[in-house]
Every structure is written in structure tokens, then in C-alpha cells.
Structure 1
Amino acid sequence: MRLRIDLGYDGGAFYGWARQPKLRTVQGEIEAAIRKVLRVRADDADAPEIRLVVAGRTDTGVHALHQVCHIDIPEDVLARAVGHMDVTPEVALERRLQRVLPDDIAIHRVQQAPDGFDARFSALERTYVYRVSDNGRFVDPRTRGFVVAVDETLDMDAMNQAAALTIGLHDFGSFATPNPGGTTIREVKYAQWRRVDPGTMLHGGAADGGYGEPVPYAESGLLCFTIVADAFARNMVRSLVNGCLQVGRGRKDVEWFARKMAVPMREGSTGPAAAKGLTLEYVAYPPDDMLAERAQAIRAVRTL
């Protein structure tokens, strides 16, 4: 049975998604938890392979609010999760994983995947958000793990002029590294910086006879970059963020960014921004009857 697993994680203590020997990774933790729940020994040559396929491999330190992966498990092995529970095997696995996994991984849901579903290749688009606190503003301690602080006051209008140049089908070779046999050609559907409304909530209320001091919301005043694309190449989002930040700081101009888009060549000034500011927010999929068609189409090597 193919299972779809929806999850989120705080990437701060992980060396990225992908399993690596002797390093703590999200994939490694979840696969180990599944083996434990289903009593599958890693050293048993006859045991089924426990291997997750993910929508997008996040780098070291990058977070995910909504990540998606799939796994193929024989039904008799999956049934081991049920035990004394009066639920389906998928729900049983979901509940047991929620108890077994560490606090920095959250399982949202485990369900049987529809026919043709592939977590990686069936995805229509992925949405990332990068969060910045500028102007030397204090960073709310609750958000310090996923917000990057900069001293300068950033020019959001200039940054949005740069971001607008990324929309469409382009070779992002100046801002990304291709996988072996792959390309850095991607289609960006949306890219924009916006300032979170610096709204406040009132501490106290009418019952206290007054309203006290206004208290800002956790994300009030943050500068957030939202980017949506069919897929992303390695380091692409963080490198685009770094390019925009250089424009916003006044160290580079929009014309420089345009030249980098026009000539896809890596060089030192377009390295990635700090990982902790980046979160994978959402992965979108087509209707069930189009999943297989989408997976087939996306496997083709992109060209301009």
C-alpha cells in the first residue's frame, strides 16, 4: 500500500531532510520510527525496504510547516501498527508515529495515497516563505528559530522589483545548483516581499476597567518573501533571497539582479542566505485523476 504522509518540522537541529550516515536528518528519524512501530529490523535482508520519497528535500536548518512524502509498505506489515486499536492501519500508524517521533517533527496525517500519487513528481507547486526582521528591530524570542535579523532598513520596493524578474520560466543557474543529470530551469509563478501588518492586540480589557499596553503579534513588522514555483533547484530560494537582500541593502542595484537572471552563472555574490529564515509552507497537488499524468510530465527534463 502506498501511504501519503503530511508533516511539519523545526529544521534547526537537523542536517536537512535526506538521510545521511551518522547525522540527524528528518528522513532518518521518520524511517527509524516507522521501523520501530512496524517492528522491521534494518539488518534483516528479507524485511521490506522503509524508504520515504519527499516532495522537496529541505537543506540543513530549513523548516517545514507542510511537507509531504510517500512510502510503500506491504499491507501485512502495515497491519502490525493496529495492535489493540479499533482503527484503520493508516490511522494506527499516524497515532503511533505521533507518540514515537521527537518534538521537532509533527505528523499531520497518514492516509492511503490515491492511484498515481507520487509525493515528488505529482506536485504542482511548492510555496516557501523567508522571514526577515530588519532595521535592527528586536526579534520576538518565540520566532528566533525561523526569523533572520538584519541591522539595515531594507528597501522593499527595490526588492520587489528584483523579485518580479524571477517570475516565469527561467534558467536560475546564477542562483542554484543542478542535481546530477538535471537543470536549473524552473518556472516561478509568484514572488513577492511584503511587510506583515504591524498590528497589536490589547493587553487587558473592559473587564479590567482599561486596555493596558498594546502588545504586537509574533510576526508583526516582519518582512516576508513568498515564492511559489513548480519546483526548486538546490539553494535556489535562499540564493534568490540573498540577491534581493543585497538590493534591499543598497549594495547592489536591480540592474545587477537582472544581469544575473539573464546570464545563468554562479559566483560568490549569489550564495544562499541563512537557512533558518526559510520555511516550506505548502505543497499543492492536482485532482486525483491527474496525479499520474502530472508525475509523467514533470519527469521530463526542462528546457527553455
Structure 2
Amino acid sequence: MVRVRLDVGYDGTDFSGWAAQPGRRTVAGVLLAELERVCGPGNPTGLTVAGRTDAGVHALGQVCHVDLPAERWAALGPTLVRRLAGLLPGDVRVWRARAVPETFDARFSALWRRYEYRVCDAEPGPDPLRRRDTLHWLRPLDLDRMNAAAAGLCGEHDFAAFCKRKEHATTIRHITAMSWRREPDGTLVATVQADAFCQAMVRSLVGAMLSAGDGRREPGWPASLLTRHERSSDVVVAPPHGLNLVAVGYPDEAEFAARADQTRNLRGVPAGLARAVRQA
């Protein structure tokens, strides 16, 4: 078997998220169906993704891996991207396909994920060509207030107030970068990078920062929620269509396995123990 890394992009508007679900159109379902069409039924196995995006969320820099029989990869590898381009619907693209060491794990070997969230606060709303990936915010937003709110959320914290908690899993995450910028056309874009994210975490953070940006909350309010150990009902989750997974970072090949082991250990322990594990 050969492990194959696929770099993928998609418009999430018409998908019920990444993960395969019976009776629903999902990115994984569509991608796996066309991989089997090219490589043969049952030949692609172990489809694993870096980040399981929710319904309506987009990706330009998604990463996943599959295992293929060596003879199928030898025969199809050079033309796999071209073949998939002719079969996949227009809202999914495979940018690259390449063999990687078997120690590579698209999910657990990742060092960080980077998302962007687009918001238009102009009265007319966003450019019609960007309506699928840009939120229209009806109140004027202050860039300085939003960046002040973002600064208070950076670093390693328990983000339980911003997450949908899963049993026997930690809500401690390390945000390595978060800031807002205003593009030449006036659109506000948040960049958020962390080792990993809980479900709906980025959209919850964005929702909290938007409330600071339009003056309904003080810039320090989002960071004040970090003392809570349960999801805060005061935080409004921003709509999915403004969110885009733009990049995933990985270590050098020699470190794939070690990074995967470390990540599995951290993700599988309760929040109260995760910080102790990190510090050990």
C-alpha cells in the first residue's frame, strides 16, 4: 500500500460538511466516490482529513490522505489529479496528489490549522460574487476594537466557553496567531491559527469579536470568558459561510510519527489533565 496525500479545495455551500453521512451530500462522500471510480471499488481506504469542516464551511487548503494499492498508484499517480478534475463536480478540486511516508497522518501529524473569516460591514453588503464566502454585518465594525479582542484570546487556554464539548476530550487549545485586517475593498478578514480547534470554535470566537467590534461588548469581554468551564450562552456562533480553511502545516517527514503520537495523547484526555500533559 502507498499513502497518498491529497490537497483539496471546496465551496462548502451545498455540502453537509466534510464527514460522510447517509443520505447527505458531503465532501468526503463525493471525493471517495470519484476516487473509487478512478482507482477501483475498495482500493482507496482510510480516508482521513486534517479538519472536519462543518456544513457550509469552505476550504482552499484542506489536506487528507488515503491508502492505495502500490500497483494502482504506480499506474494512476501521474494522472490522478487530471482524472479527478474531469469527474469531480465544480465545487470540489484536488490541487495535488503525492506519495508520502506511511507515518504521515493528515489529522494527527498536523502542527497547525489556519482559517480565515470574511465580513463585510458596508451598507449595501458584499460583492455579489463573494456572497457565498462573506458575511454581511449590519453594524459598522471597528478594526482596532476587534484586534484588541483578538489579542486577549491568543495563547494556550481552555476554550470551553467557545466549544461544543465532547466527552473524554480536552477543550484546551493553543492559538498561535489571531488578528483582523481590512482589505482594500473594505472587507474585514480574520486570520486564526492554532494547533487544532474544537467544533464551532472559530465561528464562536468570531461571533464574540464581532460583538466587540460593533460596540455591544467591550474588547476585553471575549477573553473574560476563558475562565468558564462550560459553553457560554452569551456567545453567538457566526454563520458558516464566512469561514475558510486556508492552510494546514506539518513538520518534516522524520517527525510525522512523533507528532501524531503527541497529538493523539493530548486530544484524548480530559481538559483538566491536558495542560499537565503539555507541561510534562
Percent identity for Structure 1 against Structure 2? 44
Residue 139 (1) aligns with residue 126 (2): yes
1:222-233 correspondence to structure 2 within 5 Å: 222-233=187-198
Q: Secondary structure at the match of 1:15?
A: coil
The match for 1:74 is 69
User: Structure 2-normalised TM-score?
Assistant: 0.91
Residue 178 (1) aligns with residue 143 (2): no
The residue identity in structure 2 corresponding to 1:300 is: N
Q: Secondary structure at the match of 2:80?
A: helix
More helix by share: 2
Structure 2 counterpart of 1:300, from 258, 265, 270: 265
Deviation at residue 18 of structure 1 after TM alignment: 0.4
Deviation at residue 256 of structure 1 after TM alignment: 2.6
The match for 1:53 is 48
Question: Using the alignment, how far apart are the partners of 1:264 and 1:243 within structure 2?
Answer: 17
The match for 2:186 is 221
Structure 1: state its 5+ residue gaps.
41-46, 83-88, 199-219
The match for 1:104 is 91
The match for 1:148 is 135
Kept in 1, the 8 Å contact 2:36–2:43? The answer is no
Deviations 1:181-214 (A, max 9, x none): 3111100000001111x2xxxxxxxxxxxxxxxx
Residue 265 (1) aligns with residue 230 (2): yes
Q: Secondary structure at the match of 1:252?
A: coil
Kept in 2, the 8 Å contact 1:132–1:224? The answer is yes
Q: 1:271 to 1:52 in 2, by over 3 A?
A: farther
Structure 2 counterpart of 1:120, from 107, 123, 135: 107
Structure 1 counterpart of 2:212, from 233, 242, 247: 247
Structure 2 counterpart of 1:275, from 236, 240, 263: 240
Deviation at residue 115 of structure 1 after TM alignment: 4.2
Deviation at residue 74 of structure 1 after TM alignment: 1.6
Q: 1:51 to 1:28 in 2, by over 3 A?
A: farther
Question: Using the alignment, how far apart are the partners of 1:294 and 1:287 within structure 2?
Answer: 10
Deviations 1:10-47 (A, max 9, x none): 0000000000000000000000111111231xxxxxx4
Kept in 2, the 8 Å contact 1:175–1:240? The answer is yes
Q: Secondary structure at the match of 2:234?
A: helix
Q: 1:154 to 1:245 in 2, by over 3 A?
A: same
The match for 1:189 is 176
The residue identity in structure 2 corresponding to 1:227 is: V
Question: Using the alignment, how far apart are the partners of 2:16 and 2:241 within structure 1?
Answer: 12
Question: Using the alignment, how far apart are the partners of 1:262 and 1:136 within structure 2?
Answer: 36
Kept in 1, the 8 Å contact 2:225–2:232? The answer is no
The match for 1:32 is 33
| Greater shift in the superposed pair: 116-125 or 133-142 | 133-142
Q: 1:179 to 1:93 in 2, by over 3 A?
A: farther
The match for 1:169 is 156
| Greater shift in the superposed pair: 275-284 or 253-262 | 253-262
Deviation at residue 67 of structure 1 after TM alignment: 0.5
Q: Secondary structure at the match of 1:282?
A: strand
Question: Using the alignment, how far apart are the partners of 1:141 and 1:91 within structure 2?
Answer: 38
Kept in 1, the 8 Å contact 2:213–2:219? The answer is no
Q: Secondary structure at the match of 2:139?
A: coil
Kept in 1, the 8 Å contact 2:116–2:191? The answer is yes
User: Structure 1-normalised TM-score?
Assistant: 0.84
Q: 1:250 to 1:264 in 2, by over 3 A?
A: farther
The residue identity in structure 2 corresponding to 1:225 is: A
Question: Using the alignment, how far apart are the partners of 1:58 and 1:154 within structure 2?
Answer: 27
The residue identity in structure 2 corresponding to 1:118 is: D
Question: Using the alignment, how far apart are the partners of 1:287 and 1:49 within structure 2?
Answer: 25
Kept in 1, the 8 Å contact 2:149–2:221? The answer is no
Kept in 2, the 8 Å contact 1:134–1:153? The answer is yes
Deviation at residue 104 of structure 1 after TM alignment: 0.3
Kept in 1, the 8 Å contact 2:158–2:173? The answer is yes
